[in-house]
A and B are shown apart, each in its own frame.
Chain A
Amino acid sequence: MTGNISRRSFIKGGIAACAVAASGIPTSASGADKDKQLTTLLDIGKCIGCGACVEACSGVNAGKYPEPKKPFPRMYPDRAKPEDWSDKKDIHDRLTPYNWLYIQSADVTVNGEQKTITIPRRCMHCTNPPCVKLCPWGSAKQLENGISRIDPDLCLGGAKCREVCPWEIPQRQTGIGLYLDILPAFAGNGVMYKCDRCYNRIAEGKLPACVEVCPENVQEMGPRDEIIKKARALAKETNGYIYGENENGGTNTIYVSPVPFETLNKAIETGKGKPHLKSVSDSMGKANNLVAAMAIAPIAGIAAAVGTFYKYSRKDNEAKQDEPKE
């Protein structure tokens, strides 16, 4: 049977398969320009914490919120616990599957004056989002304009995205989604939800609801390079501080604050559904640095094989020369 597949046909087949795979990439993948991704600038010095953005977010996204089936299927083993927010839809002091944006507040001293700073918090929309890149099923996606969103029809609710997100933004609702049709007792646990930055409104040429309704014009949106320039100019003008430009390798949400973010981070309430304001290193960058090893590996392998081959060939020749001539 070995004769049925020749080495030549095997190599030809392999090359053809690689060519087919490679030819598909340019149509499906692109080296999207980070500088042109849509970025939001939040001048939190202007925010009055009125909550209009939170209300608008709930209003326009209500149709995307989960409607779970109850009772939830029993899950095994018992460690897998249901997460149910369907009876707590009115919670607005943290992120939940029904509240993708909330206002954090921090009591701080600004220029000797006691002040409450309010900060709209939601998904940061990282330029290289670990929630998207590390999702094992491809349920999360990044759009060309930099928006990262979770597809509720594909998500199984394993919550890996929440664990790899430096801010633990996505929130789970049990009793909904694809897992119910597969093995609800043994795999999956619902669907993960987070801000999708009103991707559907942006596709229609509109602004995200939170940006549009803000009475204080706290937020503005534009290409990342322009927003970064504006953020730096604003920080310079107000002696302010920037958050999001370099966090997690860069995000598409840039905060400018009159108070250092270390100070704000100490003053805000953090925890589950309440993201911090710490500085964050590039989550994906460390693994991506290991790719150099992958690039060197085939060269090292070929060199080792060639070295071994010549070593044995030389030994073989020496052995032949040492053989007594008849």
Chain B
Amino acid sequence: MSRKNNVRYLYLLTVFFITLSGFGQMPIFKRYYIADIPGLGWLAKFYITHYIHYICAALLIGFSAYIITGYIMAGRKNSKLTVTGYLRGTLIIGLIATGILLVIRNFEGYIFSHNLIIFLDLSHLALVMLFLFTSLYCLIFKKKWTTK
């Protein structure tokens, strides 16, 4: 397997688990029996999904830094981001930015205003929904991140 494919599969795995653990922050998996499926019991354990979300967030930040640096260093002659590439990139950056602020909020002593917390929670959720729909569109219509 090539390095490019390794990175791609690791990125997809990270996105899958960060999304799953992110939705696990809401009390839905137990209510809808999904956590009853053998092997998915952890989805109903809020602290477990919280830890997994943090670990996947670190991986996603690492991958993003790797890909952005690689893209900048390779220059636009080799590849250009497509419109859907820009859109997905913007949504991921938005998710990382709101996620970082929520991580800061979770430290002791960081008391954000109530409106800011609601904005961060809802925008984080809205961004992931938009990212999922965009990714689905790109999958169906075979839209790539870059053009060669």
A interface residue numbers (CB < 8 A to B): 1-2, 4-5, 7, 10, 13-14, 17-18, 21, 24-25, 27-34, 77, 79-80, 127-128, 133-134, 136-138, 141-144, 151, 154, 158-160, 163-164, 187, 249-250, 283-284, 286-288, 290-291, 293-294, 296-302, 304-306, 308-309
Decide: A304 and B66 in contact? CB cutoff 8 A.
yes
Roughly how many angstroms separate A286 CA and B109 CA in the complex, as a whole number? 16
With beta carbons under 8 angstroms apart, the residue of A10, A142, A163, A302 that contacts B69 is A302
Roughly how many angstroms separate A4 CA and B83 CA in the complex, as a whole number? 9
CB distance from B34 to the nearest CB of A (A): 11
Decide: B105 and A29 in contact? CB cutoff 8 A.
yes
Please tell me if B132 contacts chain A, counting CB pairs below 8 Å: no
Decide: B111 and A297 in contact? CB cutoff 8 A.
no
0/1 interface trace, chain B 49-91, chain A, CB 8 Å (1 if under): 0110011011101111111111001101000111100100110
With contacts A34-B108, A290-B58, A291-B54 taken as known, whether A7 is within 8 angstroms of B76 at the C-beta atoms is yes
Please tell me if B129 contacts chain A, counting CB pairs below 8 Å: no
Besides A29-B111, A291-B54, A293-B54, 18 more A-B contacts (Cβ < 8 Å) are A5-B86, A7-B81, A10-B86, A25-B112, A29-B112, A34-B108, A138-B121, A141-B114, A141-B117, A160-B25, A164-B47, A294-B61, A294-B103, A298-B62, A301-B61, A304-B62, A308-B3, A309-B74
Decide: A290 and B65 in contact? CB cutoff 8 A.
no
With beta carbons under 8 angstroms apart, the residue of A30, A79, A144, A304 that contacts B33 is A79
Residues of A within 8 A of B103 (CB): 291, 294
With contacts A7-B81, A137-B118 taken as known, whether A300 is within 8 angstroms of B62 at the C-beta atoms is yes
Chain B interface SS verdict (over half): helix
Residues of A within 8 A of B93 (CB): 14, 17
Q: List 8 A–B pairs whose Cβ atoms lie within 8 Å, in order of A's numbering.
A: A2-B83, A2-B147, A163-B46, A164-B46, A164-B47, A290-B55, A294-B54, A309-B73
CB distance from B30 to the nearest CB of A (A): 8
Roughly how many angstroms separate A166 CA and B97 CA in the complex, as a whole number? 30
Decide: A18 and B97 in contact? CB cutoff 8 A.
yes
Roughly how many angstroms separate A10 CA and B80 CA in the complex, as a whole number? 12
CB distance from A157 to the nearest CB of B (A): 9
Roughly how many angstroms separate A18 CA and B31 CA in the complex, as a whole number? 36
* Nearest-CB residue, chain A, relative to B54: A290
Please tell me if B130 contacts chain A, counting CB pairs below 8 Å: no
Most chain A CB neighbours (cut-off 10 Å) among B46, B63, B64, B81: B46
* Nearest-CB residue, chain B, relative to A289: B54
CB distance from A83 to the nearest CB of B (A): 14
Residues of A within 8 A of B63 (CB): 301
With contacts A137-B118, A301-B61, A301-B64 taken as known, whether A30 is within 8 angstroms of B82 at the C-beta atoms is no
Decide: B58 and A297 in contact? CB cutoff 8 A.
yes
Decide: B113 and A28 in contact? CB cutoff 8 A.
yes
